[in-house]
Amino acid sequence: MQIFIAQQNYHIGNFTANTAKIIEAIQAAKKKQADLIVFSELAITGYPPRDFLEFEDFILKSEAALATIALQADTIGVLIGAPARNPDPTGKRLFNAAYLLYDKKIQAVQHKTLLPTYDVFDENRYFEQATTHEVMQFKGKKIAVTICEDIWNLGDNPLYRICPMDILTEQHPDFMVNLSASPFDYTHDEDRQAIIRANAIKYRIPVFYCNAVGSQTEIVFDGGSFVFDAEGNMVKKLPLFQEALEGTTILPDNQIVGPVQETADRLPLHEINPLTLEPELNISQIYQALVMGIKDYFAKMGFSKAIIGSSGGIDSAVTIALASAALGAQHVRSVLMPSPYSTEHSVDDAVKLSQNLNGPYDIIHIDKIYEAFLTELQPIFGDLPFSVAEENMQSRTRGNLLMGIANKLGYILLNTSNKSELATGYGTLYGDMAGGLGVLGDCYKLQVYALARYINREKEIIPQNILDKAPSAELRPGQKDSDSLPDYTVLDQILYQYIERRQGPTEIKTIQIPGADDALVDQTLKMVNRNEYKRNQFCPIIRVSPKAFGVGRRIPIVGEYLL
């Protein structure tokens, strides 16, 4: 039997485009004499559809698309994800379902059992848990069909009380197919391989795993679909961050045809993260995820041009380079806006960056605008000394100029704030925190430097001086980030323990991070919690870590904890 995996990039709610893409893959698989083609979780709607699922019209369109696709399933079986109605008046109105289509009709349906409700997932909000588990019969084979989370309940600390495969294995399936929409983070590819291998070994059957690819606002899906044989050997891996259609032969005795490939061998617990921040860890994958995140956000929103405030600092430089890779340098407009406190080398560095990328740039001096604000506010400010108010005024002036150009000329403003800044509130609301998409908001400062080095791996794109100089907002004479924040080599390690690993102050102090005394740990956690109100007003952030700011981290704005 020839089984094809269709690793595809869907557009949430774009039933016309999604259906056309799915049918194109079915036709291509037919030409290669495929018996069965597998698509990802909720492929027809795109994942995650969130509250679109509450609209009857949305479900009707999904059902119409499913019926259209079923007509293509004549000589080929199609396993595909879509919502299914719950006929029982009790419980949620929908299931997250996998449909087997063949002979131009629905042959079988399996509902998802384990509904993740943590981090970016909120499936229990919309879906009812499966109550029945039956293998699907197809061309003499018994297929155990699972959906994403259904295969993750292994390890020493399972999240759920049941494993769907423990039930299905009693029916002696020949192989398992898992339809997934498993988001990217820089630790997840290895964990994913390990969990699929663990399933193959535990249940002694081959596993065909189909994952989605593409970015959906803040969530990136990296693909990397797999086929494992019954001994836990990986015999096929589809590429990361690319659409792909690849076939595998399973023999009558359920042996898999294909060369054995290297695979991860550790069985992860749920949400295992490195014990400390490793800035270089999988930096090439982070780069690909960020490029895909920008590219898909623009394409799916119908935009093509980005505008970025270019300061001559590391964050804006990396953002400009990433956007240029995603959209083409000619579509990325850099705007340099020196203030009275900007250094000459910062302007020169920003110009050199744009020249290296062959991208357009403008220079707008904000001195007169800034002075006009000070003049108009002088009767109110009086003789009060220079403070953060004057600093923020420069940042908000830049934000206004960028948004004015964006509105006038049809650009999307990309935000350049990094995770270290967002964590500690080191940014200006409606100023440098403005934007339509946060590119680096899930990358600590140390990771931003690692990205810069990766971008420069073959030739100097980001001027070396930008990597070498001390980071500064340049909003007052001689300002350095270190005036307000601990050194990033210390700060980022504290933040990582608190945000990614959810360690409290006592645990963090026990770790004894070099350069971090007890008072600094307390001060840092206080900065994080008291600045939740800023992050709550921030734009969507491309998620690349196991715990990103945004929908996956829900902290009260008004709370007393650690303040």
Give catalytic status of residue 148 as yes or no: yes
Residue of 61, 128, 141, 148 with catalytic role: 148
Give catalytic status of residue 112 as yes or no: yes
Q: Which two tokens stand for residue 167?
A: 């039930």
Residue of 21, 61, 112, 300 with catalytic role: 112
Mutual angle of helices 283-301 and 314-327, in 10-degree steps: 60
Q: Give start and end residues of each alpha helix (H) in 271-342.
A: 283-301, 314-327
Answer yes or no: is 229 a known binding residue. Answer: no
Answer yes or no: is 312 a known binding residue. Answer: yes
Answer yes or no: is 271 a known binding residue. Answer: no
For 45, 46, 53, 129, 207, the CA distances from 58, given in Å and listed in that order, are 9, 12, 6, 21, 32
Contacts for 107 with CB less than 8 Å, ≥ 6 apart: 77, 100, 101, 136, 138
Residue of 21, 41, 61, 141 with catalytic role: 41
Answer yes or no: is 224 a known binding residue. Answer: no
Q: Give start and end residues of each alpha helix (H) in 184-259.
A: 188-203
Answer yes or no: is 522 a known binding residue. Answer: no
Answer yes or no: is 214 a known binding residue. Answer: no
* Bond from prior residue into 514 cis (ω within 30 degrees of 0): no
CA distance 101 to 301: 32
Instruction: Provide the β-strand partners of residue 47.
Output: none
CA distance 270 to 153: 8
**Of 89, 130, 134, 127, residue with least CA distance to 107:** 134
CA distance 183 to 544: 9
Q: What is the full DSSP assignment across 322-384?
A: HHHHHH-GGGEEEEE---TT--HHHHHHHHHHHHHHT--EEE---HHHHHHHHHHHHHHHTTP
Instruction: Provide the β-strand partners of residue 105.
Output: 102
Answer yes or no: is 392 a known binding residue. Answer: yes
Answer yes or no: is 316 a known binding residue. Answer: yes
First-last CA distance in the chain? 61
Answer yes or no: is 295 a known binding residue. Answer: no
Answer yes or no: is 313 a known binding residue. Answer: yes
Say if residue 204 is exposed, middle or buried (CB neighbours under 10 Å; 0-12, 13-18, 19+): exposed
Q: Which two tokens stand for residue 461?
A: 């794109």
**Of 557, 303, 296, 529, residue with least CA distance to 425:** 529
Q: Which two tokens stand for residue 316?
A: 């804006």
CA distance 55 to 59: 7
Answer yes or no: is 118 a known binding residue. Answer: yes
Contacts for 63 with CB less than 8 Å, ≥ 6 apart: 82
Q: Is 87 helix (H, G, I), strand (E, B) or coil?
A: coil
Extended strands (E) in 127-277: 136-138, 141-147, 175-180, 207-211, 213-216, 219-222, 226-228, 234-237, 244-250, 256-257
Answer yes or no: is 155 a known binding residue. Answer: no
Annotated binding site, which residues? 118, 182, 309-316, 392, 416, 421, 534
Q: Which residues have a catalytic role annotated? A: 41, 112, 148
Known binding-site positions for L-glutamine: 118, 182
Known binding positions for ATP: 309-316, 416
Residues placed in the known binding site for deamido-NAD(+) = 392, 421, 534
